[in-house]
Amino acid sequence: MNIKKNKSLKEFNTFGVDSTAEHFLKVTTDDELGESIKYIEKNRLKYFVLGGGSNILLGFDKYKGAVIHMQTKGVEIVDETPEYEILECAAGVNWDEFVEYTVERGLGGVENMSLIPGTMGASPIQNIGAYGQELKDTFESARVFLTEQKKIISLSKDECNFDYRDSIFKRELKGKSIIVSVSLKLKKIPKLNYSYKGIRELIFVNGDEKPTVKDMRDAVIKLRTQKLPDPTVIGNAGSFFKNPEISEESFGILKRFIPEIDGFKTKDELVKISAAKLIELSGWKGRREGNCGVYENHSLVLVNYGGATGSEIFNLAHRVIDDVYQKFGIKLTVEVNLLQ
Ligand SMILES: Cc1cc2nc3c(=O)[nH]c(=O)nc-3n(C[C@H](O)[C@H](O)[C@H](O)COP(=O)(O)OP(=O)(O)OC[C@H]3O[C@@H](n4cnc5c(N)ncnc54)[C@H](O)[C@@H]3O)c2cc1C
């Protein structure tokens, strides 16, 4: 296990917030993970787990504890039939490199989630999703290190309680578990999902009636590159807020005020609405406050123009939340993990 003291975290979070960690533990094997927990206990440290840093907001200048940076690698086929392959991937595997690998092999199930930054180990935490696909659709199981019991267990899809940007890891197992590997079941005969209009427009542009997983990946990459800010150019963590899910009755009332707002029924008989639209109608789209602001092309995304602290970004988020609440009576919730 590699230990660094007072390490800058600026390059380890896509917001580009400049802060440091007193102890930075680089974990490249399962054994090193055990050693890092022993080190943390021996030195009575608080800690958090870091993957690619693309869904966190560092709310401190200096973290007086340990950061466990998951750098384990490797993808292995653990089961195979004529219909599918099950691939077990180490926590530190880069998500998009994995998607590229599966697409090159013609496997289906994760292609719509192309270009999502971050690591495999973080993917179940918020059940990542994009353009009609979610991690849970292909998720088979995860090997999880329970930090109190100090043992690795396997959790099935049902046990992970996946929901929209939610899972057991954000609830009961928060702060008590470290994902060691994730197994996904991918189809050898892919069933493509082009329910999203923007994707269809790109896919069928040449009258191509038989798109492949590679066509889907190319379309998603094109769409995302147009819409979302590149964190290497402008600091951000993707969508900062979740899309609210409200009752049908509330949706009916809202629709009277905002006739153009769309709603999508969820399996819980709720209606999911666009947080971006509410933020935009509250006058925040493209608004800058100091070193941070709401991105001009996508109002779900908060950006760091350079030099913003975690608390500046957090305060901005709260002003947006308060304004939306005052205007529409809907309380936005945050998707990004605030670390303190
Ligand atoms: C430009 C941009 C676009 C994005 N688009 C999308 C999108 O379309 N859909 C989507 O769902 N998300 C999106 N995201 C958010 C982000 O990419 C995902 O949430 C991703 O899964 C985070 O991975 P990470 O490795 O960077 O996690 P980190 O940011 O490092 O960590 C996120 C959380 O997971 C915990 N964690 C990380 N690894 C582990 C582990 N091995 N075990 C236990 N806990 C762990 C951390 O402690 C933290 O609480 C986007 C982000 C950006 C910057």
Where does the pLDDT of residue 56 fall: very low under 50, low under 70, confident under 90, or very high at 90 and above?
very high
CATH class in words for 2-70: alpha beta
Check if 141 is active-site.
no
Identify the weakest region by mean pLDDT among 46-55, 128-137, 138-147, 202-211. Answer: 202-211
Identify the weakest region by mean pLDDT among 15-24, 178-187, 197-206, 295-304. Answer: 197-206
For ligand 1, whether the C-beta of 91 sits within 6 Å is yes
* Mean predicted confidence (pLDDT) in 124-146: 97
* Mean predicted confidence (pLDDT) in 153-160: 98
Question: From the CA of 337, how far away is ligand 1's center (Å)?
Answer: 9
Q: Which residue's CA is the closest to the ligand 1 atom numbered 10?
A: 128
Using the predicted structure, report yes or no on whether residue 44 has a pLDDT greater than 80.
yes
Q: Give me the percent of the chain exceeding a pLDDT of 90.
A: 91
- Contact call for residues 163 and 207 (beta carbons, < 8 A): no
Using the predicted structure, report yes or no on whether residue 266 has a pLDDT greater than 90.
no
Given 183, 239, 274, 299, which residue is catalytic? 239
* Mean predicted confidence (pLDDT) in 61-85: 97
Length of the chain in terms of residues written: 340
Check if 85 is active-site.
no
For domain 75-187, is the CATH number 3.90.1150.10? no
Question: From the CA of 265, how far away is ligand 1's center (Å)?
Answer: 26
Closest atom of ligand 1 to CA, residue 130: 8
Residues 6+ apart with CB under 8 A from 330: 244, 246, 250, 254, 273, 278, 324
Q: Where are the domains of the chain?
A: 2-70, 75-187, 235-339
pTM attached to this predicted model: 0.96
Using the predicted structure, report yes or no on whether residue 275 has a pLDDT greater than 90.
yes
Closest atom of ligand 1 to CA, residue 165: 11
**pLDDT value at residue 208:** 60
Check if 167 is active-site.
no
Question: From the CA of 128, how far away is ligand 1's center (Å)?
Answer: 8
Using the predicted structure, report yes or no on whether residue 1 has a pLDDT greater than 90.
no
Q: Which residue's CA is the closest to the ligand 1 atom numbered 32?
A: 55
Using the predicted structure, report yes or no on whether residue 206 has a pLDDT greater than 90.
no
Q: What pLDDT digit, counting tens, does each position of 210-232 carry?
A: 899 999 999 999 999 998 999 99
Question: From the CA of 166, how far away is ligand 1's center (Å)?
Answer: 12
Residues 6+ apart with CB under 8 A from 286: 293, 294, 295, 296, 299
For ligand 1, whether the C-beta of 49 sits within 6 Å is yes
CATH class in words for 235-339: alpha beta
For ligand 1, whether the C-beta of 181 sits within 6 Å is no
Using the predicted structure, report yes or no on whether residue 209 has a pLDDT greater than 80.
no
Label each residue of the chain as H, E or C.
CEEEEEEECHHHCCCCCCCEEEEEEEECCHHHHHHHHHHHHHCCCCEEEECCCCCEEECCCEEEEEEEEECCCCEEEEEECCCEEEEEEECCCEHHHHHHHHHHCCCECCHHHCCCCCECCCCCCCCCEECCEEHHHCEEEEEEEECCCCEEEEEECHHHCCECCECHHHCCCCCCEEEEEEEEEEECCCCCCCCCHHHHHHHHHHCCCCCCHHHHHHHHHHHHHHHCCCCCCCEEEEECECCCEECHHHHHHHHHHCCCCCEEECCCCCEEECHHHHHHHCCCCCCEECCEEECCCCCCEEEECCCCCHHHHHHHHHHHHHHHHHHHCCCCCECCEEEC
Cα 243 from Cα 269, distance rounded (Å): 15
Given 141, 165, 177, 274, which residue is catalytic? 165
Q: Which residue's CA is the closest to the ligand 1 atom numbered 1?
A: 238
**pLDDT value at residue 75:** 98
Are both 2-70 and 235-339 of the same fold?
Answer: no
Between residues 6 and 201, the one the model is more confident about: 6
Where does the pLDDT of residue 152 fall: very low under 50, low under 70, confident under 90, or very high at 90 and above?
very high
**pLDDT value at residue 207:** 66
